[in-house]
Structure 1
Amino acid sequence: MGNQKVIVIGAGISGLAAVYYMKQNLPEAHITLLEASDRIGGKIKTVRRDGFVIECGPEGYMARKPTLTNLIKDIGLGDQLVHSGTGTYYIYVNHRLRQMPKGSVMGIPTKMLPMVTTGLVSPLGKLRAALDLLIPRVYQDKDISLKEFFERRLGSELVTNMIEPLLSGIYNGDLADMSLEATLPQFAAIEKKHRSLILGMKSIQPPKQAGTSKKSAGRFLSLSCGLDVLVEKLASYADEIRLKTPVDHVEPGKVTLSDGTVLNADSIILATSPKQLGPLLDFPEAWSLSNDKRTTTATVALAFKKEEVEQLDGTGYVVSRKEGLNITACSFMNHKWSYTAPEDCALIRTYVGTAEDAAIVEESDEAIEEKALADLRKISKLGTPLFSVITRQIDNMPQYTVNHNQRVQAFEDALGKINGVYACGALLHGVGLPDCVDNAMHVAEEAAGQLKENEDAATNS
């Protein structure tokens, strides 16, 4: 078993998790990790400066998805796990910050009183949303966009002022493109079962437990040592890591590098950015995923002395598109994660660039910082930052457009016919860190199982 060669292409979280799970399944295999850029980690990047811990990419992950938490404990980082702080979440709409109405989930109302009194939606918009209680089913087992689904159920005002800012914060996409089945299948299921979203959401809200404290742990987890420590720990399971090593083509048993070198392997796992799938595999279903829509964004982290920042209760806010600002959301990082800033300082992270307009991301760091600050100052008082860290994600945020699941299924069916070549990544089964890790785990198990089978067949022949 000792001489089996595995090549993993792409050193983001998916590729790194694939390396780890491959080692767990086949401790004797020799695993080579290839990465086109000059660093490992992909979108995960942690910057430490003057006592600040700044996550430039993902800042954490949803606590209710167990795979990543289990992985973190297995590699000995369990004592670094931290729950996010909780607090009010706001939406900036009609030129002011307004609280998310209590009892709304993803902008869908489950309690009537807060919905009736909120300034987020006009009286007419509220009446239109209430029609959800009467309207027949919109989803008919055929994928549609989130925009069509939510507008037909709840009306366009609620979508523009509540649902869209929240969802584009998560997926950084345009609701008119985004697939209901691939991004929020639970809402299709709720509608199927209860017909009305409002009634359906009400029925799944857990009852308040008697005697529990108001201040519960946040819904997100992260590592107080910084997520890059997770990246380095996972990378240590590879036998060999080659940076600045772009790949040109992949076929069963061999990987051709851009410089023409050919590497042989018994098993190959692709965990590359979506745009590489087509060029590397060169079959129609792979090209179809590579040609899918992606977006470009930039993250702007701003460090302040605490007295320079107007203290808002809460963890952050999202911005409605119709406000015409450059920023789409803002997180008060030191409220959410106390370890991210020194005691007397504050760390604010804001985002620029939308699916419709990413031009700002191409501008200089100075220009981006200036525009972001100007927008933040329209919303609350801010002094002069100590420094800023700007991170661009160019053309690599996958968008799950309508019929995404069908395209992924077609791709995986076609890939299944190619011996010893596998794929995982944010493009396929979820963009969050736990989703990527989960996908990598299943793919590694499948690849390792196939290698063991080949080995047994060779031994018995």
Structure 2
Amino acid sequence: MNRLNNIAIIGGGITGMAAAYYAKQAGAHVTMYESSDRIGGKIKTVYRDGFVLECGPDGYMARKPTLTELITELGLDDDLVRSMTGTSYIYVRNQLRQMPAGSVMGIPTKFWPMVKTDLFTWRGKLRAGMDLVLPRVYTGTDISLDTFFRTRLGSEVVEAMIEPLLSGIYNGTLDDMSIESTFPQFITIEQKTRSLILGMKALTPPVQAGVKPREAGKFLSLQQGLGVLIEALRPSIDRLYTETKVASVRAHEVTLADGTTESFDSIILATSPNALGPILGLQEAEKLSELKRTSSITVLAAFDEKEVAALDGTGYVIAKAEGNALTACSWMHKKWPHMAPKHKALLRVYIGSEYVPDLLAKSDETIAGFALRELRKIQHVGTPIFTKVERHIDTMPQYEVGHKQYVRAFEERLSTLDGVEACGAILHGVGLPDCVDSAKQAVARVMAGQAVSV
């Protein structure tokens, strides 16, 4: 039997909470240190007037199984709900326009919808068609998403469709984002088929003649809100210290800001990226702490349903060229019907990162008023029942060109520190399933290392 099972976890976001669960399942005694006054990190569910308000992520990609497996193990699978679907829109040239049918992550896979769409000019459409004959863009050296897609499909498709769809995932710009670290699947497709259009088309399931395919929502969430996931994970922690800052971590040793030192068999770092360098004192960790991170502000606004223009679909993204301060608007009551009472509407708007620095210190009322004014430039909304403003400060790591190499150097250096592992969004993926998968792997490495030590 493994006797080395006293584990410290630094950080109480979804990654740390998942690590606590997997460590407890492996028989460990778990101590968690969290610098803020609450656990859950970006996940935060608020209940008000019958609304379920997700102040952070509202769901996760269904195709990534690790989080669904965890939810099932916790006995919450009966609470799982799948997102609704509908027409997808992009606000471009002062109008909400439908996404061409067959587009996958902004990449066209069908001929006639692309020909008929009013999203692009004929010149833009012809330029996108050059993808069918162009040589491969990726040659083994990391490049930005902007360089990759603009070279393959042209500026119009990038600016009107791909940039609004993809940049919101990382709250950044395509100019900065590394294709190797964000969407390596496009590299694989290009290497196999050379053409993105042909490659994505090959991945799209064939449609049976005369049968209209039933589109399934691509996201999953929990009926009671993702906050219940955090509460279900809480019992995995034997000792929880909130509002407790860790000053440093060395092999088998945690030192708190007040000078208190405690020894552990293993330590798992699931902290924010900016804390890695100061805690570890390693050059490679300092590099990750210095990498660009962005802040964001979201505004949730509840309405009587009649106060919101009735549109099919679950929301829209906004092309940057429109000059609107918002990047997207989700009709949460249509995407997730459980989030709003009957005859009510719930909208969530995302403020563009370039506007965020000036707004962070403003009052909630000022921010909400600003967001509503920008929203009304696009669609009709009346007076909200209430609004909820949520600030996420320096929370989103940017996977810039070269990110994969920085992470590899950090992990190689960390492997020399006995009994210390790291996991989280800074490493191999920012989505909730990515974070859970990262935690599961970190615990597996810890337990394997402990077994060797016994």
TM-score (norm 1): 0.96
Q: Distance in 2 between matches of 1:247 and 1:162?
A: 43
Indicate if the aligned counterparts of 1:84 and 1:219 stay in contact, CA closer than 8 A: yes
Q: Distance in 2 between matches of 1:255 and 1:396?
A: 24
Match of 2:264 in 1: 265
Q: Residue 236 of structure 2 aligns to a residue in which SS?
A: coil
Of 125-134 and 173-182, deviating more is: 125-134
Return the offset for 1:133. 1.4
Indicate if the aligned counterparts of 1:353 and 1:361 stay in contact, CA closer than 8 A: no
Indicate if the aligned counterparts of 1:352 and 1:360 stay in contact, CA closer than 8 A: no
Shift in alpha-carbon separation, 1:31–1:357, aligned structure 2, 3 A:
closer
Residue 255 (structure 2) pairs with residue 256 (structure 1) = yes
Return the offset for 1:379. 1.1
Q: Distance in 2 between matches of 1:85 and 1:159?
A: 26
Q: Distance in 1 between matches of 2:253 and 2:210?
A: 61
Indicate if the aligned counterparts of 1:93 and 1:320 stay in contact, CA closer than 8 A: yes
Q: Deviations over 1:263-309 (max 9, x none)?
A: 21110000001101111111111111111111110111001111111
Match of 1:137 in 2: 136
Return the offset for 1:360. 2.8
Return the offset for 1:42. 0.1
Q: Distance in 2 between matches of 1:128 and 1:375?
A: 32
Return the offset for 1:130. 1.1
Match of 1:59 in 2: 58
Match of 1:459 in 2: none
Return the offset for 1:338. 0.9
Q: Deviations over 1:22-68 (max 9, x none)?
A: 1112x2x2210110000000000001000000100010001111111
Q: Deviations over 1:287-335 (max 9, x none)?
A: 1111111111011100111111111100100011111111110100010
Indicate if the aligned counterparts of 2:207 and 2:213 stay in contact, CA closer than 8 A: no
Q: Distance in 1 between matches of 2:326 and 2:369?
A: 11
Return the offset for 1:363. 2.5
Q: What is the identity, as a one-letter code, of the residue corresponding to 1:81? A: L
Shift in alpha-carbon separation, 1:279–1:212, aligned structure 2, 3 A:
farther
Match of 2:16 in 1: 15
Indicate if the aligned counterparts of 1:181 and 1:405 stay in contact, CA closer than 8 A: yes
Indicate if the aligned counterparts of 2:51 and 2:341 stay in contact, CA closer than 8 A: yes
Return the offset for 1:210. 6.3
Match of 2:393 in 1: 394
Q: Residue 362 of structure 1 aligns to a residue in which SS?
A: coil
Q: What is the identity, as a one-letter code, of the residue corresponding to 1:326? A: A
Match of 2:345 in 1: 346
Q: What is the identity, as a one-letter code, of the residue corresponding to 1:20? A: Y
Return the offset for 1:123. 1.4
Indicate if the aligned counterparts of 2:8 and 2:30 stay in contact, CA closer than 8 A: yes
Q: What is the identity, as a one-letter code, of the residue corresponding to 1:406? A: Q
Q: Residue 379 of structure 1 aligns to a residue in which SS?
A: coil
Q: Distance in 1 between matches of 2:234 and 2:144?
A: 38
Equivalent runs, 1:360-371 vs 2, <5 Å:
360-371=359-370
Match of 1:299 in 2: 298
Shift in alpha-carbon separation, 1:102–1:414, aligned structure 2, 3 A:
same
Indicate if the aligned counterparts of 1:46 and 1:56 stay in contact, CA closer than 8 A: yes
Q: Distance in 2 between matches of 1:434 and 1:4?
A: 25
Equivalent runs, 1:373-412 vs 2, <5 Å:
373-412=372-411
Q: Deviations over 1:105-159 (max 9, x none)?
A: 1111111111111111111111111111121111001100000011111111110
Q: Distance in 1 between matches of 2:371 and 2:22?
A: 41
Return the offset for 1:204. 1.5
Return the offset for 1:452. 2.4
Return the offset for 1:103. 0.6
Q: Distance in 1 between matches of 2:58 and 2:189?
A: 30
Shift in alpha-carbon separation, 1:357–1:52, aligned structure 2, 3 A:
closer
Shift in alpha-carbon separation, 1:81–1:317, aligned structure 2, 3 A:
same
Match of 1:424 in 2: 423
TM-score (norm 2): 0.97
Q: What is the identity, as a one-letter code, of the residue corresponding to 1:345? A: K
Q: Distance in 2 between matches of 1:22 and 1:212?
A: 48
Q: Deviations over 1:398-427 (max 9, x none)?
A: 110001111111110000010000100011
Of 60-69 and 199-208, deviating more is: 199-208
Q: Residue 297 of structure 1 aligns to a residue in which SS?
A: strand
Equivalent runs, 1:24-103 vs 2, <5 Å:
24-25=25-26, 27=27, 29-103=28-102
Shift in alpha-carbon separation, 1:204–1:269, aligned structure 2, 3 A:
same
Indicate if the aligned counterparts of 1:296 and 1:355 stay in contact, CA closer than 8 A: no
Indicate if the aligned counterparts of 1:249 and 1:257 stay in contact, CA closer than 8 A: yes
Return the offset for 1:168. 1.3
Equivalent runs, 1:98-247 vs 2, <5 Å:
98-209=97-208, 214-247=213-246
Shift in alpha-carbon separation, 1:272–1:315, aligned structure 2, 3 A:
same
Residue 276 (structure 2) pairs with residue 274 (structure 1) = no
Q: Distance in 2 between matches of 1:359 and 1:107?
A: 31
Q: Distance in 1 between matches of 2:159 and 2:281?
A: 40
Indicate if the aligned counterparts of 2:4 and 2:450 stay in contact, CA closer than 8 A: no
Q: What is the identity, as a one-letter code, of the residue corresponding to 1:291? A: E
User: What is the number of residues matched between the two proteins?
Assistant: 453
Shift in alpha-carbon separation, 1:395–1:364, aligned structure 2, 3 A:
same
Indicate if the aligned counterparts of 1:174 and 1:355 stay in contact, CA closer than 8 A: no
Q: Deviations over 1:207-252 (max 9, x none)?
A: 1256866443311000001111100111211101110001111101
Shift in alpha-carbon separation, 1:282–1:45, aligned structure 2, 3 A:
same
Q: What is the identity, as a one-letter code, of the residue corresponding to 1:58? A: P
Match of 2:7 in 1: 6
Match of 1:458 in 2: none
Identity across aligned pairs (percent)?
57
Q: Deviations over 1:354-383 (max 9, x none)?
A: 268643333221121111111111111100
Indicate if the aligned counterparts of 2:301 and 2:385 stay in contact, CA closer than 8 A: yes
Indicate if the aligned counterparts of 1:422 and 1:447 stay in contact, CA closer than 8 A: yes
**Runs of at least 5 residues in structure 2 that lack an aligned partner in the other structure:** none
Indicate if the aligned counterparts of 2:297 and 2:356 stay in contact, CA closer than 8 A: no
Q: What is the identity, as a one-letter code, of the residue corresponding to 1:84? A: S
Q: What is the identity, as a one-letter code, of the residue corresponding to 1:86? A: T
